């Protein structure tokens, strides 16, 4: 199978829902979960899993997992099977590690002496290797390579388990958070409750929403008395498609309990003295959907600001500004606004080509990524173009695009990248090519413009990116989030400065 | 399964390829066909079929058909099976009629006394019913409801068949063209040749391209001596993704023979005296991919002109111009340019939601098409918006979008439609809702703004559309297409003026 | 894929059902059709098709076709779709010819000037090639290589068609029967009627059954007033599994009309003077299920008689008689009864192995067909065995079995075959290996025992087979079938004497 | 979906293979495993799993699991993936428990501090519930409901783990065997070795075979020097189909190590003083394939002896003996031999009907299991029949068969069952209907003949069964198995006497 592009990949998305009010609920929980997860599909397309609970004592859990997109993985029969749930969590997954693919699919469900729990995880434990050893030394066999299983075994291990009517899961979660500082956003379902947890550094996002009656959705004043249920999601973009209103973010280090009675903050586990939060800056730059809200600001707005900043840092003398559709469009519009240059479309994406089988070693392979784009020749023939991209990872995607534009008559093609060069690996949940594959670490990077065939190439600076991100937060923070005055972001892949020391 | 939106649908796309030079060819014909067809996927997603020929005497034909997208319908095994072809045609299909779905899938292949032929058809024969009767009266049973079978039987019927070494297919094709004036773009494969045919009114598009070595693709001067093969396609947008250069359109009424020796115009069957060409104007407005070229002009450019014209005909006093992504974007940019208003994105499309199973009668259904869009609130909250759409067919899609925008804080939402209201059925290959379903024919249309919840709604005039389309042609025509001086377009769905008289 | 055994194959099975009494019927016609077809699965496993009609004026036909076993080809959704039928026909298919597999799947449905008909066919037209030419010369294109399409086009062709309220299909069927003498058993559905037709030589079987209420099934006296519907099937074995009672055979040359009012013989088209019937004798020997009834006798009984006759013609001095499970078991039991030798099982069949993927060129391939059999060592170790087989086509199946038995301790292994050697091709619907592949035509046949490793090999004589078959008929014929006093069987594959002269 | 019959079900089959000689091996280990597992398909059809190891330090394990039959679960791609294994184990599974089906599929693979192990299990731990508690009390979460996971966690737990080059797995296995007395036959793969383990009561079978060159297979004297590999299987019937010779059984309580150097008995864990072995007697009666060898005797022979014993205990005055095909055939032949009555076939099984979809509440459902059988009327009409069945569990299968025979003309139908009535549940790996569902526990059992419509019904006595089973063992035992002089069988489902005390 063809696999030309290999950029950077998100690890996962998590989503949960608890029906409010009387149970059995009238709310179609399994449908809400599915549709909520579909809205997180950009965070992982490999497999998807769902677990619902009826919330009874003891609870009945129903689960379904499948390979591929949510629409494939959750066929109508599966949703039928899950329909009696009053609450549930689900997960969509990006990468394949380990050797039985479906087995690594989350949520992970285990029986413990306290009862059955289900865990969905977005992130990557920085000290996973040491923790696996620790768990195995305790005499536990680990059946998958996934952090989720490790997390469930860690939750079960300490403090020692007893058969209890009301087990203290919060103590276990707090203990887990002392064992591993980052990176995780977790949903833990136990009987009739979901615990939503973000690591102390807040490295991965997690937001809470409130389901309101569709009829009240468009009346701004719908109060809490109308709540039909609570949802929790890696990104708030999923709220729109299920008729939920944005409620708030889970804070770094926070353990939130979501039950049919509402949302309750149970604890905020602090970071080590002096450490700043380390929310992944690439969620803004690349991963998140533009309509998601992080730290009180819309991702689209941040990307637009990056484009504006880029126009200040790296102006060009050209005839028009354009975008590599479609993730770079907000930045391109920002660049156009700041520079005063006209925003013009030069490429048209073919949505279907990606999944077609192409035999290796044929003339068609040589076309590379150009197969995915149609050229809007008349829009730029005889003109000088600045093309905005959101990131350049390997350089093998942008190069054939530049060739395309030149062939179609662009007299100059300048590249401006709305983020700094990626130079370092991520150990916190992002799949970045090896250091050697990153264009920024190659000798060719010295003449990157020559290498990819552009007239000039410039990147946004790290300072520019950080200020574009943080500019919109400070005012919001002061007003809204009293418990968390500091602002900080993980820029490790750009700077090599990891939020915590890595010992392997 | 959920099926909320039901707009207008294209009937089909056709694509063909003949390897140039010595046979057996080194060109991966089956791959070229597949990728070319993928680029026409927007014209039909229901099923796909492919037939290749080795071109020998007698020829061996290999065929594969499948349901769904090209990527699903043509698995690697199928391509393997087809790999010895030196030429071939393929087809992607939109609608389901008749009762054995795969059976209706094209190309249609039949054995005749002259040998085996394969036919792929885009369009709809206006006098199909009478022709079916005629053929059946001759004692022929028709095994499908498709026009393609009818066309093949008509080709076989007249003149009477004899076993010949060099049958005169052109005479048969000409005879067919006298039997049925429109609407069809046809690919007919016989042994080592493809006949590309467009009806005398030129109702459906058909373009020819030339495959050049990938290494020469980016050198403008690649001459005919470099030709690796010839392709023919419903739309020129497919040439980009296979490394072909645009060559020319098949003209209305023209029969073109494509062989390994090149492209040869065999005949141009004339229209009745006084009749103008009738190329479907909705190919420009809605169906075609924006990077396709018809009548010498890029579809994107026409849409942009429609937007400009709309701004002249129907200005608004608002803060920003936006689009219903993504087909209306060129028109929206045109409107913005003409009006001087800033172009701003207000919606973000979720590509995955469409294929998810939703149970009927649930709260999620009530969300309607809004599930497909994320709202970029910060871009327009507190502002007056004019939203450009390319067409409003039933009115049930735009209405929930307007609600979304208002809820998110738009103070005014005006709708401008970059085409006139659709009021009449199409009998020439476009699937339009019944007259009663069309919003323009409903009583509510009198207060369309009130009905869909907009502050104002205005449509482009028919004159405005026609002039926006034809403005770019005249100059081109004079210079390039000597054989066809007149310009005309079918606007039947807007005006009720059909290019030929309809007798049923 | 592994394909070690390649014996002789049946071409197809056909099945039809018409609900009796008031319509819409309460009878689950689609289910009856499916289950009836399942009972004919041994006649073809490649693909299956079904068409139902509501019987209205004009009728609505619903159809479904699929690859593989009936259980795979007809999923629950398909049956749901078909459930409003008041009558229907279906077909299961053996071989792959032509190039679009599903397309060749029957029943074949066509629109004619008389209306829509559906045709299911078991057999093979001996003069198909000439008839195809004839039809194509008339200007008809043939879209498949199947005889069924040819039959439908022949039915449509003569006499010339007119639009009639009550078309004379019987005249058309009679005309067809003059065009092609054999081999066919046909079901032709038109609106509210099924015509069941057997060629004048009666080469392929066709039987009629009567559906009675399940509650009355076990009361022998259930009269015609209880009839819930009528069924027609290639073999009567299918009646048991749907709760139908055996009614009678369709006679050679007979056209029977089955409607909701019952069964009516419309005509018997005669054979040329002096020609005997030519029912395929291999239906008795090999193809049919043992519980089917042909010509008034149970197939099992005929096979048992063959075994008895074999014991008379070819006795052995051994310790026990056994069978190659499981088709040869009736003959083995007959041999045991006649010879007085004890019947003992020596092999145990593994039903699952056949469908497993085996890589070529491995040690496992060398095991050959032995992989399919377990050896019941203790039953025969140290003993002399005579093994009865129903036929030896190529000799590559029996050889490894003999090795198995010897290795497990059989002191002698004698082979007795309950049919004569196959020496000639069949042109009437049976798939026989080429003349060169048939062991009986190879030089090695002179020492067949040595070639396959047996101590001795003997076959039943043609005379022995014919008398074993006809012994049970004569008395039945005299009493029951007044219209058809003669008895005759096609033994062409054994003797080269074909029922009609073959001209190609 | 229809599910008429619900008898008793086996839990699983296990199979393993180690290539002998130099590694990488030339032996196609994955193919041997697959084909060996296919031969155990009758022990479980729900899902199948396979794990191979290259045997290196550290080893690479490759695994594949799938739902359905082995042929479906292991497609060619999967075998390709597994082809570099030098050893491997596999498993086929019967029942669905737990909520993620594929997750419960074996072999179970876990990482431990000692390295990765794979475990395949046939049986059921009698004290599973207590052991789960114990493991969970240790702080382990259990992700499945399968005993296999429990076994792996128990192996990991005691003695405490250390990172060792040569971990003492035998000590761990011995410890496991003290924790749980029965029921299990286990294959444990670690790096380059398979441990084959049978519980001290020998409740489930396990046999070892030796792969010899195919060319030497039929020469009886093939010595150990020719060994190509070693296989271990739930039943010896699988040896035939892979070209292996029967070597010996794993003894009750024995731990056998199978490596490329051969087979080595490591230990025999004893039963409590005074306890007899408890090999499941129903393996003889019902589960095992007739060509398997247990305790030195062929299963077929035991069944035949049961039939003979039944003829002595429960003679009938009838005209013929017959069988419910095909599991009861050996007993029926035994009954015929002992009684002198002729053995005659009366039923013919339709192999395809089982998997067809039947709508509930239709006339076809009323036909019940009769749909699966064709009646060989002429063989018994007007005669008195004794029908031998192997067991009657619920009584709903035999009843419609008796009706069938009567309707077809049997004047008397007597039932003789070649095993005693099942009255008690099994806790050792067999899936028996609940006590209330068992016909032997219902009030109707007093007049069972009347209830099922037979003229008489009689069962084999427990004493009769035990003597029929043990008659063939004693002589064998004396000669061959010095270490295990006693003979004993578990008859708990018949007598309620469980081999060990059950505490829940």
Domain carrying residue C418: 301-464
Cα torsion for A417, A420, A423, A426, to the nearest 10°? -100
C386: nearest Cα among C315, C460, C280, C306:
C315
B237 touches chain A (CB under 8 A): yes
Section D496-500 average pLDDT: 93
Q: Are residues C147 and C47 in the same domain?
A: yes
Q: Which residue has 């006394």 as its token pair? A: B113
Chain A interface, mutation test: which of D141, D143, D160, most A Cβ atoms within 10 Å? D141
Judge whether residue A399 has pLDDT over 80. yes
Q: What is the pLDDT of residues C60-80, one digit of tens each?
A: 999 998 888 888 888 888 888
Question: Which residue ranges of D make up the annotated binding site?
Answer: 280, 327, 389-390, 426, 490, 493
Task: Please list every residue in chain A whose beta carbon sits closer than 8 Å to the beta carbon of residue B235.
Answer: none
Helices then strands, counting H and E runs in chain A, come out as 18, 25
Q: Do chains B and D touch (3 or more CB pairs under 8 A)?
A: no
Greater pLDDT, C373 or C87 = C87
Task: Please answer yes or no on whether C357 and D71 come within 8 Å at the CB atom.
Answer: yes
Greater pLDDT, C479 or B327 = B327
**What is the structure's pLDDT at D71?**
86
C446 touches chain B (CB under 8 A): no
CA-to-CA distance for B130 and B504, rounded, in angstroms? 8
Task: Please list every residue in chain B whose beta carbon sits closer than 8 Å to the beta carbon of residue A237.
Answer: 348, 350, 374
Of A252-266, C221-235, D307-321, minimum mean pLDDT range: C221-235
Q: What is the pLDDT of residues D403-425, one digit of tens each?
A: 989 989 999 999 999 999 999 98
Nearest CA in chain B to C156: B139
Task: Please list every residue in chain C whose beta carbon sits closer than 8 Å to the beta carbon of residue D345.
Answer: 300, 329-330, 333
Q: What percent of chain A has pLDDT over 70?
A: 90
Residue C419 Ramachandran class (φ > 0 left, ψ -120 to 50 alpha, else beta): beta
Section A409-436 average pLDDT: 91
> The CATH number of the domain where C78 resides is what?
3.60.20.10
Q: Which of B28, B378, B379 is facing A359, going by the closest CB pair? A: B28
**The token pair that represents C324 in the structure block:** 């190659």
| D91: helix, strand or coil | strand
Q: What angle do CA B116, B118, B124 make, to 5 degrees?
A: 140
Section A265-273 average pLDDT: 94
**Pairing of the two strands C320-323 and C347-349:** unpaired
Q: Are residues B236 and B309 in the same domain?
A: no
Section C341-363 average pLDDT: 78
**What is the structure's pLDDT at A414?**
98
Q: Quick check: is D479 in a domain?
A: no
Please give the ipTM for the structure prediction.
0.91
Task: Please list every residue in chain A whose beta carbon sits closer than 8 Å to the beta carbon of residue D107.
Answer: none
**What is the structure's pLDDT at D484?**
58
**What is the structure's pLDDT at A84?**
86
Task: Please list every residue in chain C whose beta carbon sits closer than 8 Å to the beta carbon of residue B99.
Answer: 61-63, 109
Judge whether residue C5 has pLDDT over 50. no
CA-to-CA distance for D254 and D177, rounded, in angstroms? 10
Q: Are residues B320 and B204 in the same domain?
A: no
**What is the structure's pLDDT at A145?**
84
The dihedral built from the CA positions of residue D473, D476, D481 and D484, taken in this order, carries a sign that is: positive
CA-to-CA distance for D352 and C71, rounded, in angstroms? 8
CA-to-CA distance for B126 and B142, rounded, in angstroms? 18
Instruction: Report residue C221's pLDDT band, with 50, 70 and 90 as the boundaries.
Output: low
Task: Please answer yes or no on whether C156 and B149 come within 8 Å at the CB atom.
Answer: no
Nearest CA in chain A to D60: A99
- Which one-letter DSSP state was computed for residue B472? T
Task: Please answer yes or no on whether C366 and D69 come within 8 Å at the CB atom.
Answer: no
A28 touches chain B (CB under 8 A): yes
Q: Quick check: is B34 in a domain?
A: yes
A242 touches chain B (CB under 8 A): yes
- The CA distance from B57 to the nearest CA of chain C, in Å, is 18
CA-to-CA distance for C407 and B159, rounded, in angstroms? 71
**What is the structure's pLDDT at B156?**
93
**What is the structure's pLDDT at A454?**
97
A95, A16 contact by CB (below 8 A): no
Task: Please answer yes or no on whether B358 and A74 come within 8 Å at the CB atom.
Answer: no
Q: Are residues A158 and A47 in the same domain?
A: yes
- The CA distance from D392 to the nearest CA of chain C, in Å, is 22
Section B27-51 average pLDDT: 92
Task: Please list every residue in chain C whose beta carbon sits closer than 8 Å to the beta carbon of residue B143.
Answer: 108-111, 143, 149, 152
**What is the structure's pLDDT at C219?**
62
Q: What is the pLDDT of residues A8-33, one digit of tens each?
A: 666 799 999 999 999 999 899 999 99
B348 touches chain A (CB under 8 A): yes
Q: What is the pLDDT of residues C403-426, one digit of tens each?
A: 889 989 999 999 999 999 999 988
Q: What is the pLDDT of residues D40-79, one digit of tens each?
A: 999 988 889 999 999 998 899 999 988 888 888 888 888 8
Active-site annotation holder among A12, A105, A237, A306: A12
Chain D interface, mutation test: which of C213, C231, C357, C475, most D Cβ atoms within 10 Å? C357
Q: Are residues D201 and D326 in the same domain?
A: no
Mean per-residue pLDDT over chain A, rounded:
88
CA-to-CA distance for C336 and C342, rounded, in angstroms? 6
Section B191-198 average pLDDT: 97
**What is the structure's pLDDT at D360?**
57
Greater pLDDT, B102 or C166 = C166
**What is the structure's pLDDT at A326?**
83
| D133: helix, strand or coil | helix
Nearest CA in chain A to D64: A100
Q: Which of C70, C290, C292 is facing D352, going by the closest CB pair? A: C70
**What is the structure's pLDDT at B4?**
35
Instruction: Report residue D162's pLDDT band, with 50, 70 and 90 as the boundaries.
Output: confident
Section A80-104 average pLDDT: 76
Task: Please answer yes or no on whether D142 and A110 come within 8 Å at the CB atom.
Answer: yes
Q: How far is CA A423 from the centre of its chain?
A: 20
Greater pLDDT, B236 or A162 = B236
D387 touches chain C (CB under 8 A): no
A217 touches chain B (CB under 8 A): yes
Q: Quick check: is D219 in a domain?
A: yes
**Pairing of the two strands D254-259 and D229-233:** unpaired
Task: Please list every residue in chain A whose beta carbon sits closer than 8 Å to the beta carbon of residue D63.
Answer: 99-100
Of A368-372, C28-32, C202-206, minimum mean pLDDT range: A368-372
C411 touches chain D (CB under 8 A): no
**Pairing of the two strands D61-67 and D254-259:** unpaired
Instruction: Report residue C322's pLDDT band, with 50, 70 and 90 as the boundaries.
Output: very high
Section B396-423 average pLDDT: 93
Task: Please list every residue in chain C whose beta carbon sits closer than 8 Å to the beta carbon of residue B153.
Answer: 139-141
D218 touches chain C (CB under 8 A): yes
Task: Please answer yes or no on whether D359 and C27 come within 8 Å at the CB atom.
Answer: no
Q: Are residues C263 and C309 in the same domain?
A: no
Query: Among the ranges A72-81, A269-278, A306-315, D429-438, which has the highest mean pLDDT value?
Result: A306-315
A368 touches chain B (CB under 8 A): no
Q: What is the pLDDT of residues B248-277, one digit of tens each?
A: 999 999 999 999 999 999 999 999 998 999
Q: Are residues A380 and A266 in the same domain?
A: no
Nearest CA in chain C to D356: C71
Instruction: Report residue D96's pLDDT band, with 50, 70 and 90 as the boundaries.
Output: very low
* pTM for this predicted structure: 0.89
A34 touches chain B (CB under 8 A): yes
Q: What is the pLDDT of residues D252-311, one digit of tens each?
A: 999 999 999 999 999 999 999 989 999 999 999 989 999 999 999 999 999 999 999 999
Task: Please answer yes or no on whether B138 and C142 come within 8 Å at the CB atom.
Answer: no
- The CA distance from A161 to the nearest CA of chain B, in Å, is 41
Q: Are residues B36 and B176 in the same domain?
A: yes
Instruction: Report residue C490's pLDDT band, with 50, 70 and 90 as the boundaries.
Output: very high
Judge whether residue A374 has pLDDT over 50. yes
**What is the structure's pLDDT at D218?**
61
Q: What percent of chain B has pLDDT over 70?
A: 90
> The CATH number of the domain where A436 resides is what?
3.40.50.2020
CA-to-CA distance for C363 and C368, rounded, in angstroms? 10
**The token pair that represents A367 in the structure block:** 């076309």
Q: Quick check: is D478 in a domain?
A: no
Q: What is the pLDDT of residues B466-501, one digit of tens each?
A: 999 999 887 666 555 545 567 899 999 999 999 998
CA-to-CA distance for A277 and A292, rounded, in angstroms? 19
A229: nearest Cα among A218, A215, A243:
A243
- Examine the residue annotation and report whether A12 is marked as an active-site residue of this protein: yes
Q: How far is CA D295 from the centre of its chain?
A: 15
Q: Are residues B327 and B240 in the same domain?
A: no
Q: Strands (DSSP E) along A373-434, which ranges?
A: 373-375, 384-389, 412-417, 430-431
Greater pLDDT, B189 or A429 = B189
Mean per-residue pLDDT over chain B, rounded:
88
Widest pairwise Cα distance in chain C: 77
* Tally of domains in chain C: 2
Q: What is the pLDDT of residues C38-48, one digit of tens each?
A: 999 999 888 89
Query: Among the ranges A459-468, B238-247, B474-483, which has the highest mean pLDDT value?
Result: A459-468
Active-site annotation holder among B12, B17, B90, B237: B12
Ligand-binding annotation for A390, yes or no, is: yes
**What is the structure's pLDDT at A76?**
82
Q: Are residues D174 and D306 in the same domain?
A: no
- CB proximity list for C42: less than 8 A, separation 6 or greater: C10, C287, C289
Task: Please list every residue in chain C whose beta carbon sits closer than 8 Å to the beta carbon of residue D337.
Answer: 342
Section C474-499 average pLDDT: 77
Q: Quick check: is C477 in a domain?
A: no
**The token pair that represents B18 in the structure block:** 């003949």
Q: What is the pLDDT of residues B127-164, one digit of tens each?
A: 999 999 999 999 999 988 889 999 999 999 988 888 77
Q: Quick check: is B487 in a domain?
A: no
Return the bridge partners of C456, or none: C414
C381 touches chain D (CB under 8 A): no
B302 touches chain A (CB under 8 A): no
The neighbours of chain D, by the rule of 3 or more Cβ pairs under 8 Å, are A, C
A360 touches chain D (CB under 8 A): no
Ligand-binding annotation for C389, yes or no, is: yes
A395: nearest Cα among A451, A339, A447:
A451
D374 touches chain C (CB under 8 A): yes
CA-to-CA distance for A203 and A198, rounded, in angstroms? 8
Q: Quick check: is D314 in a domain?
A: yes
Task: Please answer yes or no on whether D35 and C218 come within 8 Å at the CB atom.
Answer: no
Q: Are residues B165 and B269 in the same domain?
A: yes
Task: Please list every residue in chain C whose beta carbon sits closer than 8 Å to the beta carbon of residue B113.
Answer: 133, 136-137
Q: Quick check: is D53 in a domain?
A: yes
Q: What is the pLDDT of residues A470-493, one digit of tens each?
A: 998 876 665 555 455 678 999 999
Q: Are residues A173 and A122 in the same domain?
A: yes
**What is the structure's pLDDT at B149?**
92
Of A285-299, B5-19, D440-454, minimum mean pLDDT range: B5-19
**What is the structure's pLDDT at A395?**
81
Instruction: Report residue C101's pLDDT band, with 50, 70 and 90 as the boundaries.
Output: low
**What is the structure's pLDDT at D364?**
75
**The token pair that represents C199 in the structure block:** 């060629």
**What is the structure's pLDDT at B97?**
45
Q: Which of D31, D243, D377 is facing C358, going by the closest CB pair? A: D31
**What is the structure's pLDDT at C499?**
92
Section A312-325 average pLDDT: 97
Instruction: Please name the residues between 145 and 204 in chain C that touch chain B, using a CB distance below 8 Å.
Output: 145, 149, 152-153, 155-158, 160-162
Active-site annotation holder among D12, D17, D90, D306: D12
């Amino acid at each position: 199978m063809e696999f030309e592009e290999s950029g950077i990949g998100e690890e996962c998305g998590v989503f949960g829902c608890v029906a409010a009010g009387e149970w059995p609920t009238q709310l179609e929980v399994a449908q809400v979960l599915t549709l909520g997860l579909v809205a997180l599909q950009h965070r992982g397309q490999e497999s998807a899993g769902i677990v619902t609970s009826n919330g009874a004592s003891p609870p009945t859990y129903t689960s379904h997992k499948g390979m591929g997109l949510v629409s494939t993985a959750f066929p109508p029969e599966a949703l039928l099977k899950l329909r009696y749930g009053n609450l549930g969590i689900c997960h969509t997954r990006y990468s394949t590690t380990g050797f039985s693919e479906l087995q690594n699919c989350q949520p992970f469900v285990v029986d413990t002496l306290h009862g059955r729990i289900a865990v969905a995880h977005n992130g990557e434990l920085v000290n996973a290797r040491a923790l696996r050893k620790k768990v195995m030394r305790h005499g536990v066999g680990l059946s998958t390579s996934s952090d989720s299983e490790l997390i469930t075994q860690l939750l079960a291990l300490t403090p020692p388990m007893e058969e209890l009517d009301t087990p203290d899961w919060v103590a276990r979660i707090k203990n887990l958070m002392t064992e591993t500082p980052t990176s995780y956003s977790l949903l833990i379902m136990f009987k009739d409750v979901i615990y939503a947890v973000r690591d102390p550094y807040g490295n991965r996002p997690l937001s809470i929403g409130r389901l309101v009656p569709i009829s009240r959705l468009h009346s701004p004043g719908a109060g809490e008395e109308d709540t039909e249920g609570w949802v929790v999601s890696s990104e708030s973009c999923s709220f729109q498609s299920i008729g939920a209103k944005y409620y708030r973010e889970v804070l770094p280090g926070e353990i939130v309990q979501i039950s049919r009675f509402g949302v309750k903050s149970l604890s905020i586990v602090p970071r080590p003295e002096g450490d700043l939060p380390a929310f992944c800056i690439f969620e803004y730059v690349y991963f998140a959907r533009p309509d998601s809200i992080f730290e009180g600001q819309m991702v689209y707005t941040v990307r637009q600001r990056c484009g504006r900043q880029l126009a200040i840092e790296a102006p060009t003398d050209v005839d028009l500004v354009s975008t590599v559709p479609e993730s770079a469009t907000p930045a391109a519009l920002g660049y156009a606004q700041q520079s005063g240059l006209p925003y013009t479309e030069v490429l048209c994406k073919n949505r279907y080509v990606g999944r077609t089988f192409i035999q290796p070693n044929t003339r068609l392979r040589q076309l590379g990524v150009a197969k995915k784009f149609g050229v809007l020749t008349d829009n730029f023939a005889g003109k000088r173009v600045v093309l905005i991209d959101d990131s350049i990872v390997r350089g093998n995607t942008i190069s054939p695009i530049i060739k395309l534009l030149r062939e179609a008559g662009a007299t100059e093609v300048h590249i401006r990248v709305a983020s700094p060069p990626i130079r370092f690996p991520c150990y916190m949940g992002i799949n970045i090519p090896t250091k050697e594959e990153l264009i920024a670490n190659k000798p060719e990077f010295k003449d990157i413009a020559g290498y990819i065939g552009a007239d000039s190439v410039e990147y946004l600076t790290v300072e520019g990116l950080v200020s574009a991100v943080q500019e919109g937060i400070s005012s919001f923070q002061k007003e809204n989030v009293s418990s968390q005055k500091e602002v900080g972001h993980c820029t490790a892949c750009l700077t090599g400065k990891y939020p915590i020391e890595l010992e392997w």
